[in-house]
Structure 1
């Protein structure tokens, strides 16, 4: 008996994707083939609404993140008490230029126009993530 395998699955010899196939066949017999397209269409619409809600939440989180960044930059103006972020640990290696390494990170940074000079890998990844999120937000706002 393998770890995580229930007695029922061991007896039936059925597990994983096989259950989904069996469930689909059972539903076709139970509901009939004429009702299945309607059910699948309703399921597709429900999944579409779920995806819309998920995208809306992502947009709201991005807006909050941008407002937080703006608040942090405005608080660092003269006259305001400044809270300095902790510097990255000294063990992070500086990323070499693309010509020297040819690695995936350097290629992505070059394509997105991220300057890697004197930055740690974490800083480059954070800049790439920020650029991708900005591009995604712009793409979603256009339609």
Structure 2
């Protein structure tokens, strides 16, 4: 019956021509190309931001540059989370990076859905 990918492509093309007409095919492929382009652009942006976060996490920077101190948190609270050498606690950094990765994944999914809607 229909086994290869080319058979499916031919069947889909025939259905598109029958129901959509030949004028709709370029519009369909144009929209598909835009969606793929938006997906790749979002993927590249996420990868760039992840590389930047990893680079920032590996570079020796003062803790105040890694993340702003939440409102209401005192200096004595931050001293508890830091070892004696002044470096931020690695577990806190890892958790912050995980949170940022989850935010980026949600943003990527939102962009994918937005691209599919257009």
Higher Rg of the two aligned structures: 1
TM-score, normalised via structure 2 length: 0.46
Provide TM-score, normalisation by structure 1.
0.39
